[in-house]
Amino acid sequence: MPLGSERRIRAAMETPLPAPAMTRRAAILSGARAAIGVPGLVLFASMTGFGGLVREAGLDLSIGLVMTGVIWALPSQVVLAGSIVGGASLFAAAAAVTLSAVRLMPMTAAIVPRLRGEGTSRRTLGALSHFVAVTPWVIGMAELPRLPRAVRPVWFAALGATLTLSNLAATALGYWSAAALPGRLAAALVFLTPAYFLVSMAGAARTTTDRLALALGLAATPLAGVLGLGPDLIWGGLVGGTVAFLVGRRGRRG
């Protein structure tokens, strides 16, 4: 084999390739541009549904905007809105939200090695980690390895800030739409959230445990509500999830 082609093959196998230098300004623009695409559009549409949900739940727009800004994880936002509507105490609401958000830990742990520039402080990483949610995570995990290390933190900050701003706008748009639209269309806007979550969770469910957790969560939570066991979300999540986990493990062993 000629030496040249061998070198080319080896170069093609060694991903990521050494990235060319990039200015800070170019990194900011690139990060902002990465927010525009199919994942960004899906998030925007879902966040519009959340805005409608906030309005139909009788909550203030400002509350919806604060939720989008500070929580920045749609499932946890929906869990909190649902807990508030259900009249949950602070502790029950915080417990339900925190259980829905544990997945952010392994996601953050996975992206930090790709995100870190040379000498990025832990404090900076802690601040940047606020932007970790499914959409920026998927975009970041794919794009970060292609970027020079030095500009990765600023690129991710630009991505996260752009997505946050556009989704604050989406929250407001959904809220106002629910107010302005005829009743049935407003209701259809609110129905986007459960329809979207149900379908995307079914799509993400690959193992027996995933599918069982989805089915048991759907069934156990209303059951806990009917039985009057107290915070139905926590009961449904803990019991449904634990049973799904145990059954899934037994299935894999046996």
Segment 86-145, which members bind other proteins (CB under 8 A)?
86-91, 93-110, 112-113, 122, 125-126, 129-130, 132
In the complex with other proteins, the residue whose CB is nearer, 22 or 238, is 238
In the complex, minimum distance from the CB of residue 36 to other proteins, in angstroms, rounded to a whole number? 18
Q: Which of 67, 68, 75 lies closest to 204 in space, CA to CA?
A: 75
Site residues (CB under 8 A) for other proteins, limited to 186-225: 186-188, 190-203, 205, 209-210, 212-222, 225
In the complex with other proteins, the residue whose CB is nearer, 105 or 227, is 105
Residues 161, 152: Cα–Cα separation, whole Å: 14
The answer to whether the beta carbons of residues 103 and 111 sit under 8 Å apart is no
Residues 77, 82: Cα–Cα separation, whole Å: 8
Site residues (CB under 8 A) for other proteins, limited to 163-192: 178, 183-184, 186-188, 190-192
Number of residues that bind other proteins (CB under 8 A): 106
In the complex with other proteins, the residue whose CB is nearer, 13 or 70, is 70
Q: Which of 206, 148, 184 lies closest to 18 in space, CA to CA?
A: 148
* Phi and psi, residue 86, nearest 5°: -75, 0
Q: Considering the rule CB under 8 A, would residue 161 count as an interface residue with other proteins? A: no
In the complex, minimum distance from the CB of residue 197 to other proteins, in angstroms, rounded to a whole number? 5
Residues 53, 50: Cα–Cα separation, whole Å: 5
